[in-house]
Amino acid sequence: MQILTHLLCIALCLYLFLVSTNGTQLILVNNCRRSIWPGILGNTGKMTPNDGGFHMRSGDEVVFDVPKKWSGRIWARQNCHFNKTGQGSCDTGDCNGRLKCRGLGGKPPVTVVEMTLGTSTSPLHFYDVSLVDGFNVPVSMRPVGGGAGCGVAECDVDLNICCPSALEVKVDGKVVGCKSACLATQSAKYCCTGKFADPKTCKPTIFAHLFKAICPKAYSYAFDESSSLNRCRATRYVIIFCPPK
Ligand SMILES: *[C@@H]1O[C@H](CO)[C@@H](O)[C@H](O)[C@H]1NC(C)=O
């Protein structure tokens, strides 16, 4: 009897330990026909899982945990070539030529999955797919198992196909990325910076409207309506590159 009580106590302690320390599980899936090299950047003061970069073949799945209140961004790099020391380059999303991005972001244009998995004032998770830095690969993020109010953040259409020619980024004649108006012009007006750093003065451009029409569940410019920001509380999320339509 005493042993049983002890066992129960140990089980309870273990359970409480797991509940209090568990973070969030992220499942990355490469549903693209070709390899991708995801890049991960933890926000300031946050850890970076898997050294911030790795290779995924078509069909691969990678699972990792991030701690409570983690925030950061994940993006895909394409057509990378790295040597044995993990140095080289990618056609899109390159992080200074490194396989392991460790603290570096990806070179735009790049589709970015952004998330804040709880803060000191709220346990809610916020996540979105952003086209503010342009587009390279379709991507989606959704909670596993769903949940009340938990939406899907996604841009599931290949915007490279319908990219206005002025915004195209080409490699060997093939469009690999589509710049946002901000990226293409580097102007305060389109980037919502300086005197335009206000939703009243910074309006979506015709290109942001185009992005929004094709990918309504993604952020298309800095002050896009908050409907593209999802709020949720789940233990697992799946991020699919080239999600099925
Ligand atoms: C890998 O590439 C980097 C940068 O191009 C180069 O400096 C380095 O010597 C290369 N290492 C190997 C082992 O080839």
Per-domain boundaries in the chain: 23-241
Mutational test site, ligand 1, from 80, 81, 82, 83, max ligand atoms within 8 Å of CB? 83
Euclidean distance between CA atoms 214 and 46, whole angstroms: 33
Distance from Cα 71 to the centre of ligand 1, integer Å: 32
Using alpha carbons, list the distances in angstroms from residue 109 to 33, 65, 142, 168, 233: 20, 27, 23, 9, 30
Mutational test site, ligand 1, from 81, 82, 84, 85, max ligand atoms within 8 Å of CB? 85
Candidates 191, 189, 130, 127; CA nearest to 159 is 130
Residue nearest to atom 9 of ligand 1 (CA): 85
Phi, psi of 115 (to 5 degrees): -150, 150
23-241 has which CATH code?
2.60.110.10
Distance from Cα 100 to the centre of ligand 1, integer Å: 14
Q: Is the CB of 87 under 6 A from ligand 1?
A: yes
Q: Is the CB of 85 under 6 A from ligand 1?
A: yes
What SS3 state is found at 219?
A: strand
Phi, psi of 72 (to 5 degrees): 170, -170
Distance from Cα 176 to the centre of ligand 1, integer Å: 25
> Which pLDDT does position 18 carry in this prediction?
46
> Which pLDDT does position 200 carry in this prediction?
83
Give the nearest ligand 1 atom to 97 CA. Answer: 4
Q: Is the CB of 83 under 6 A from ligand 1?
A: yes
E strands along 12-146, which residues? Answer: 24-30, 36-42, 61-66, 71-78, 81-82, 88-89, 112-117, 125-130, 139-143
Mutational test site, ligand 1, from 87, 89, 96, 98, max ligand atoms within 8 Å of CB? 87
State pTM to two decimals.
0.87
| pLDDT tens-place values along the chain, 245 residues long | 555 555 555 454 444 444 445 799 999 999 999 999 999 999 999 999 999 999 999 999 999 999 999 999 999 999 999 999 999 999 999 999 999 999 999 999 999 999 999 999 999 999 999 998 999 999 999 999 867 678 999 999 999 999 999 899 999 999 999 998 888 888 888 888 888 888 888 877 777 888 888 998 898 877 777 667 888 999 999 999 999 98
Distance from Cα 85 to the centre of ligand 1, integer Å: 7
Distance from Cα 236 to the centre of ligand 1, integer Å: 38
Q: Is the CB of 96 under 6 A from ligand 1?
A: no
> Which pLDDT does position 3 carry in this prediction?
55
Give the nearest ligand 1 atom to 83 CA. Answer: 1
Residue nearest to atom 4 of ligand 1 (CA): 87
